Structure 1
């Protein structure tokens, strides 16, 4: 079999199963594990999958650039944002992450709701500028342009003084085994720090982020109290979320 055909079949299998094992693939195609690992390595370089020990997971499409991500799954993100907005009560202190789904949540907030929003995203802060009853606390630091958020030591130090009711966290992957993940090391670190400063973490995930993984793990599924989605997760992911005590919120 041609390498290109084998890679196409591996990708199709990944889309059906969510993960593959190198040893099983080598047996199936009657080739060495080194050959399969080379295939997986090349496919990972193309952004088609995320390599893990012993195999691979389906890569998240949400690692694309900001402009492209703003065009991905717009109806799903709008539905997720609307469902998330209903979890917020007047007078709460809420941390809003960066990213396109959290930007939709900012736009969904009622203009007459008294609220304090803490964010390390200048985009989120600008989106809330005309909400006169929302107090906006903007955390500064080094700008990570992929998600338009502040990262680094200055951001972490400022966040250490915040105590919030809810943290709405954006991710690029939600996977039964890999947990919550994102495509940048520093961003994963600051998401963990934000989660530690809130009584509850609520993860927002449009459809394309379910059952896939990115390079850097934020944490296990159990770090979240709730996962807001548009529709139902796969049976495997749903079972993993239930086992971790995560409630699933949908439209």
Structure 2
């Protein structure tokens, strides 16, 4: 079998099964594990999969920068954001992540809502200027321009005196065994710190982020108490998450 054909078969199996194991691939194709590892490296460099110990997982397609993602109108995004916005109640302290779905969530918060929103996203802060009863605490730090959020030691230090009721997290990958992940190391640290300062974490995840992984792990799946997904999401994607003890809400 040609290398090109073998790679095509690997991707087909990955799409079908949600993961591939190097040892099993080696036996299936009758080649060495070194050959399989080379195939996986090359496919990973093309962004077609995410290598993990012993094999590979589907790569998250959610890698475009904020400006590109913001230009894409999405009924799904609005639906997920709407369900999340209804979860916020008067008097809470809420941490709101960066990202286009989170911006849409901020937009859908009721004008009469009396609450405090903590965010490291200037975009969220600006969106909430028109909500007169929402107090906004903007966390400073180094600006990560790809996602328009602050990251780094200064941002994490600013969290030290905050104890929130709930954190609404954006991710690029949600996987039953690989956990929650994102495409930038400093963002991963920041998201983990935000989760540590909230009583519960709610993940906002469109179906393209489910059963997928990115390079940097935020934490185990159980870091989230709830995941909000689009209504049309196939149960084959959500059942493994629910089996891990996470509440799934369809928007």
Q: TM-score, normalised by structure 2?
A: 0.94
Name the CA shift for 1:247/1:232 in 2 (closer, same or farther; >3 Å).
farther
1:29 aligns with 2:20: no
Listed as ranges, the matches of 1:226-237 within 5 Å are 226-231=226-231, 235=235, 237=237
Find the aligned partners of 2:218 and 2:140 in 1 and give their Cα distance: 21
Partner of 1:2: 2
Listed as ranges, the matches of 1:99-248 within 5 Å are 99-231=99-231, 235=235, 237-248=237-248
Q: CA deviation at 1:104?
A: 1.6
Q: String of CA shifts for 1:24-43, please: whole Å, max 9, x gaps.
A: 11222222211111111011
Partner of 1:58: 58
Number of aligned pairs? 251
Q: Is the 8 A contact 2:175 2:241 kept in 1?
A: no
Partner of 1:249: 249
Listed as ranges, the matches of 1:31-110 within 5 Å are 31-70=31-70, 74-110=74-110
Name the CA shift for 1:39/1:103 in 2 (closer, same or farther; >3 Å).
same
Q: CA deviation at 1:236?
A: 5.7
Q: CA deviation at 1:108?
A: 1.5
Q: CA deviation at 1:232?
A: 6.4
Q: TM-score, normalised by structure 1?
A: 0.94
Q: Is the 8 A contact 1:173 1:212 kept in 2?
A: yes
Find the aligned partners of 1:248 and 1:158 in 2 and give their Cα distance: 31
When the two chains are superposed, the root-mean-square deviation of aligned CA atoms in Å is 1.7
Q: CA deviation at 1:124?
A: 0.9
Find the aligned partners of 1:133 and 1:185 in 2 and give their Cα distance: 35
Q: CA deviation at 1:237?
A: 5.0
Find the aligned partners of 1:130 and 1:68 in 2 and give their Cα distance: 24
Q: Which 5+ residue runs of structure 1 have no aligned equivalent?
A: none
Q: CA deviation at 1:68?
A: 3.2
Find the aligned partners of 2:72 and 2:181 in 1 and give their Cα distance: 18
Q: String of CA shifts for 1:91-150, please: whole Å, max 9, x gaps.
A: 211100011221121111112211211100001111111111211110000011121111
Q: CA deviation at 1:164?
A: 0.9
Q: CA deviation at 1:70?
A: 3.1
